[in-house]
Amino acid sequence: MEKNDEKLFDVYHGKNNNWQSCISYLRIFATICVIYLHTCSTLSENQELFDLSKMQKIFFNASYQMMYWAVPVFFMITGMLFLRKEMHVKSSEWLFKYSRRILLALVVFGIPYAALKLVMADGLSISLLDKI
């Protein structure tokens, strides 16, 4: 094998710690960008609730469009980490383990968020300041 082929082999099989740390940093940055995407989409979908100037709307719209790369990158990195050769997991075991995690996340975050969205859609305001 040539020297470059050996480096690629080591990278592919996870023997290069620098490569793994770069992937970790990219995944963290992509996660932050995905959170920013959700924040910007909330602002753009509910413009009547927020008093934004024209420049602020342009800024949020432009930054929203520039962050689109984060979702596919996040999913590709996650898929790459799931499909490593070191992970010897049977598909039925994998399906049960990760479906349980997804269902837990839906229950913990999805149901309260859906309830809050239904309440907000009726025009009701939930504020602690109203209770005082």
Cβ-proximal residues to 86 (8 Å cutoff; 6+ apart), any chain? 14
The dihedral of CA 76, 81, 82, 86: what is its sign? Answer: positive
Helical H runs in 16-86?
A: 17-45, 54-66, 70-82
pLDDT band at 114 (very low <50, low <70, confident <90, very high): confident
Residue 85 CB-half CA count within 13 A: 7
Closest among 25, 32, 70, 75 to 17, alpha carbons compared: 25
Rounded to a whole number of angstroms, the CA Rg of the chain reads: 21
pLDDT digits (tens, 9 = 90+) for 65-109: 888 899 899 888 887 877 776 666 677 777 787 788 888 988 898
Task: Confirm if 116 and 126 have CB atoms less than 8 A apart.
Answer: yes
pLDDT band at 131 (very low <50, low <70, confident <90, very high): very low
Distance of CA 1 to the CA centre of its chain: 39
Tokens coding 82: 């799931």
Cβ-proximal residues to 57 (8 Å cutoff; 6+ apart), any chain? 44, 47
pLDDT digits (tens, 9 = 90+) for 28-68: 999 899 888 888 777 777 777 777 788 888 888 888 888 88
